[in-house]
């Protein structure tokens, strides 16, 4: 797998390079950047010593390099202006995720006009792998939607939750905001503090979540946590009233929910359903492509709570992009993707 990374100077670009360096069948052939052109890759990513002899090139040069896959780790709205090669292209921006032009215009008002959606690169969604195996263009999902879709889709498909609003509160590390300097991301502002932002449905990932959860409306509140990377998402939804059984309707209980999730994810290499009573933590997925899940039924209010932890730069971005490239190029899906976290 000869790979070019465009947008290689950012946090996600750096994580892509790190994963590709550990991939048994990958070779990095170009590192494209909008800034830093001509600088050594290790001047920005000093930990990637295997790339010490490589420099950042401009995006057009990177795209013209002969390769099998191009990863686009550029800001939203940038990919639509590029001349893309015949290689497999995995776009990590939002440019080709949304099927609705009106949703794009509402949630990305300052970005260029809507671009047609590409196959959506969340392999764990029903039927997704079959599409991705033949795809030449793949829209890599956002970090929050990845966590929320993995947390709720089995319940949605099984009819455990039907219609109505789902409440999601999720905290992300600061790397989710990218590398561009911002006053509210200074260490002095972030350390020792936790805050909500873009609440009341204003976050751009909201329509993407609803696109992956048919029939549901998402009330999403994102939060900024004082950590470099990781996402912890907590989703709550009212349970369906009951199910018909031999003895009549019966309430949905913890055992049934756990069975549904265990069956849905039994063959998924990167999704781990935790034992009852154990709760996801971001430190347990640090540096991995994994999703740790826990589900709980609260009988008093007939509410389902689903909790997911991911690394926002891993399964939420670069790891998932490599996973998608593996599928599209016919390589082992897990190649180059860690499942053991860095600890402590």
Q: What CATH number is associated with residue 19? A: 3.40.50.720
Tell me which residue range forms the domain holding 237: 144-312
Element (H, E) at 319: helix 319-328
In this structure, are residues 298 and 238 in contact, taking their beta carbons and an 8 Å threshold?
no
Q: Is the confidence at residue 343, as pLDDT, over 60?
A: yes
Q: Is the confidence at residue 280, as pLDDT, over 60?
A: yes
User: What counts of helices (H) and strands (E) characterise the chain?
Assistant: 10, 13
DSSP 161-173: S-SSEEEEEEEE-
User: What is residue 247's predicted lDDT score, i.e. its pLDDT?
Assistant: 44
Q: Are residues 30 and 157 in the same domain?
A: no
Note whether residue 111 is domain-resident.
yes
Q: What CATH number is associated with residue 189? A: 3.30.360.10
Note whether residue 281 is domain-resident.
yes
User: What is residue 79's predicted lDDT score, i.e. its pLDDT?
Assistant: 86
Q: Is the confidence at residue 147, as pLDDT, over 90?
A: yes
DSSP 225-242: -SSSS-EEEEEEEEPPS-
Q: Is the confidence at residue 231, as pLDDT, over 90?
A: yes
Spell out a b/e string for 301-336, using b for 16 or more CB atoms within 10 Å of the CB, else e: eeebbbbbbbbbbbbbbbbbbbbbbbbbbebebebb
Q: Are residues 74 and 187 in the same domain?
A: no
Instruction: Report phi then psi at 80, rounded to 5.
Output: -65, -15
Across the range 108-132, mean pLDDT stands at 94
Q: Are residues 230 and 288 in the same domain?
A: yes
pLDDT tens column, 163-210: 778 999 999 998 876 767 677 777 777 888 888 887 776 788 899 999
In this structure, are residues 32 and 57 in contact, taking their beta carbons and an 8 Å threshold?
yes
Q: Are residues 170 and 300 in the same domain?
A: yes
Q: Is the confidence at residue 246, as pLDDT, over 60?
A: no
Average pLDDT score over the chain: 92
Q: Is the confidence at residue 241, as pLDDT, over 80?
A: no
DSSP 243-264: B--TTS-B---HHHHHHHHHHH
pLDDT tens column, 45-54: 999 999 999 9
Quickly state the pLDDT bin for 245 (edges 50, 70, 90).
very low
Quickly state the pLDDT bin for 341 (edges 50, 70, 90).
very high
Q: Are residues 111 and 155 in the same domain?
A: no
Q: Are residues 15 and 94 in the same domain?
A: yes
Distance CA 230, CA 244 (A): 40
Examine the residue annotation and report whether 143 is marked as an active-site residue of this protein: yes
Quickly state the pLDDT bin for 249 (edges 50, 70, 90).
low
Domain end residue (candidates: 60, 84, 118): 118
Number of domains in the chain: 2
What residues does 293 pair with on adjacent strands? 273, 308
Note whether residue 138 is domain-resident.
no
Percentage above 90 pLDDT, the chain: 76
Note whether residue 45 is domain-resident.
yes
Element (H, E) at 5: strand 2-6
Q: Are residues 182 and 308 in the same domain?
A: yes
Q: Is the confidence at residue 238, as pLDDT, over 70?
A: yes
Note whether residue 40 is domain-resident.
yes
pTM, entire model: 0.94
Q: Peptide bond preceding 344: is omega within 30 degrees of 0, i.e. cis?
A: yes
Q: Which of 31, 59, 143, 306 is catalytic?
A: 143
């Amino acid at each position: 797998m000869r790979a070019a990374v465009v947008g290689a100077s950012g946090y996600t670009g750096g994580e892509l390079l790190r994963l590709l360096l550990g991939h048994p069948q990958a070779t990095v052939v170009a590192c494209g950047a909008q800034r830093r052109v001509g600088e050594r890759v290790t001047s920005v990513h000093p930990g990637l010593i295997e790339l010490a002899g490589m420099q950042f090139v401009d995006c057009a040069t990177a795209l013209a390099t002969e390769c099998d896959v191009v990863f686009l780790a550029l800001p939203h709205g940038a990919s639509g202006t590029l001349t893309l090669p015949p290689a497999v292209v995995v776009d990590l921006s939002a440019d080709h995720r949304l099927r609705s032009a009106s949703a794009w215009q509402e949630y990305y008002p300052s970005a260029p006009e809507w671009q047609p959606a590409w196959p959506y690169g969340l392999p764990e969604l029903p039927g997704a792998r079959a599409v991705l195996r033949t795809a030449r263009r793949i829209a890599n999902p956002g970090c929050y939607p990845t966590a929320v879709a993995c947390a709720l889709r089995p319940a949605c498909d099984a009819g455990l939750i039907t219609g109505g609003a789902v409440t999601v509160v999720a905290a992300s590390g600061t790397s989710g905001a990218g590398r561009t300097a911002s006053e509210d991301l200074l260490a002095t502002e972030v350390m020792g503090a936790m805050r909500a932002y873009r609440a009341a449905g204003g976050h751009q990932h909201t329509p993407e979540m609803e696109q992956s959860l048919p029939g549901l409306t998402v009330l999403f509140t994102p939060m900024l946590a004082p950590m470099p990377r990781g996402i912890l998402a907590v989703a709550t939804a009212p349970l369906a009233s009951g199910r018909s059984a031999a003895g009549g309707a019966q309430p949905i209980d913890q055992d049934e929910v756990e069975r549904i999730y265990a069956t849905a994810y039994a063959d998924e290499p990167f999704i781990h359903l935790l034992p009852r009573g154990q709760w996801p933590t971001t430190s347990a997925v640090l540096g991995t492509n994994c999703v740790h899940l826990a589900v709980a039924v609260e009988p008093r209010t007939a509410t389902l709570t689903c909790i997911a932890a991911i690394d926002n730069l891993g399964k939420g971005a670069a790891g998932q992009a490599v996973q998608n490239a593996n599928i599209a190029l016919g390589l082992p899906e897990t190649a180059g993707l860690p499942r053991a976290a860095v600890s402590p």
